[in-house]
Chain A
């Protein structure tokens, strides 16, 4: 009897610590934020003292041109970063999917940029982009070319390049893994039928990799909205608002302008955006599973 009871409680005992911690430090704060977003709230007040203002924070943001600019920068950043990384990453994976000596060393070298702290990545690139002592302008100078104002006029492009440097390997590694797990029978059949390597890539490899590619793309997209430290160190959102992505604006609204209510409302907008992406990813993987199950059922019937 006691044994059966103990068994019944086992899963709850295993789950309890995780549930408690996540409820306390994730779910409760998120609820707290939604509640706080309806208030005029500054850091010296506790949330109970803050005045309830209804949807005012959301409406203010909706009309705020700075918020629009910031949102635009975020979307532009995410779009360009993800598209370039997908193209370069998948391209390199297709190119390097060969049986060569030292492939594992190569992969180790490629994951290095991802593992290093974003703060340090920002630091390195800020040095390289430096107008006078930076590596790039020195090279341009040595070659007799005009200097480029990397973090001034072209700030957004420069941070996009830095992010591409850091995260293309992620897509490269995942697509390489996908490529190497493709069924060899399909490729063999294509080779026997005389398909050129371009035809193999376009008609066989890419379509078969598609599920992994879409998930990778969505993961990267979600991460692109989280980028903050690299940009903070490189440009601090400037010049003007040209690189002030949403995450950075949230942190500045909270710490510099001391408007926690507005920052909370902004966080909610960002969260909604990410929620849409996550739900999209979730639905997509479910769809894949259903389709796989149906194919398996069809095969079983044939047998």
Chain B
């Protein structure tokens, strides 16, 4: 890999340094502040002269710590539980979206069947639907219509084991939120994976079929391994949306299924903001996306360009 690099003007490197500072500066600022006590943040002695402390993280994660932090008498922020909720919802919805989206994309690329054009046009169209538009109907449906009667067989069984009153509804459950996220991400995933599946040589699949593989075997053993980069890109984008989303989760979750963004917004809207703790929770929420960015930036860029250029 003996590439030749051009020599550049020093001013050029200064410009790049400024740009990098601008783009990661705010994140670094949050990181630094999350290790400061509120006194240090408010006192205005800006800079790096402070005693780093993990107290903010202890406050945020108090419900999952194995010891009781000394500075707290009462665990108010149940951030640990929300973290687990976020993780469950994001991981399950990413996995489901990928499997389902992959199969659909494969069918759209490789088969001619009745209704193909309708499906493909609809996926293209629903990509633009913003979460805010889904808020009203999803709230109504999940609370009123997608319910199992408490007197029915399955509904009664669930109600008996879990307790509570009224019908068993999707609202307030993990599956309710997961369902919206899967539906919201499917159009994008189908679209992006189509452009990867098109590139898989048809002859490979035909060879496998001649050797006696059924359509599902061809799909799982031949096609899936070949579109791994596409899958990685799609997975990161789906995870990012499911992990970061606030609005629909806040409408659909109840006390036990709150995700991290909801907790952050709830703690922000109060008048007296505890900056240190809030920054610590923000940092915890930002860690998974940051890790993805550092280790899979190539896939992210591939996904972004494939998504836009193949439009």
Contacts and interface: CB of A to CB of B under 8 A. Distances in A.
A106 B16 contact: yes
Interface in B12-70: 15-16, 19-20, 22-24, 26-27, 29-30, 33, 41-42, 44, 46
B95 to A, nearest CB: 13
A148 interface: no
Q: How large is the interface on B (under 10, 10 to 19, 20 to 34, 35 or more residues)?
A: 35 or more
Nearest to B116: A11
B258 to A, nearest CB: 13
Given A96-B16, A113-B23, A228-B247, A260 B136 contact: yes
A46 interface: yes
Contacts of B275: 127, 133
Interface in A60-117: 92, 95-96, 98-101, 104, 106-113, 115-117
Interface centre among A27, A109, A248 (most CB of B within 10 A): A109
A26 B297 contact: no
B300 interface: yes
A111 B184 CA distance: 22
Contacts, number: 285
Contacts of B251: 255
Interface centre among B26, B103, B106, B127 (most CB of A within 10 A): B26
Interface string B182-214: 111011001000000000000000000000001
A27 B133 CA distance: 12
A6 B101 CA distance: 21
A250 B138 CA distance: 13
A117 B107 CA distance: 33
A25 B126 CA distance: 11
B8 interface: yes
Contacts of A232: 246, 265
Given A96-B16, A225-B130, A251-B132, A120 B282 contact: yes
Q: How large is the interface on A (under 10, 10 to 19, 20 to 34, 35 or more residues)?
A: 35 or more
Interface stretch (B74-82, B155-163, B225-233, B285-293): B285-293
A17 interface: yes
A135 B128 contact: no
Interface in A20-49: 21-22, 24-30, 32-33, 36, 41, 43, 46-47
Contacts of A110: 19-20, 23
Contacts of A95: 15
A28 B141 contact: yes
Interface stretch (A151-159, A199-207, A275-283, A295-303): A275-283
Contacts of B122: 22, 27
A195 interface: no
B10 interface: no
Given A24-B183, A30-B129, A123-B282, 13 more contacts: A25-B182, A28-B141, A29-B134, A32-B140, A33-B133, A104-B297, A109-B24, A110-B20, A117-B261, A124-B26, A215-B309, A222-B128, A254-B136
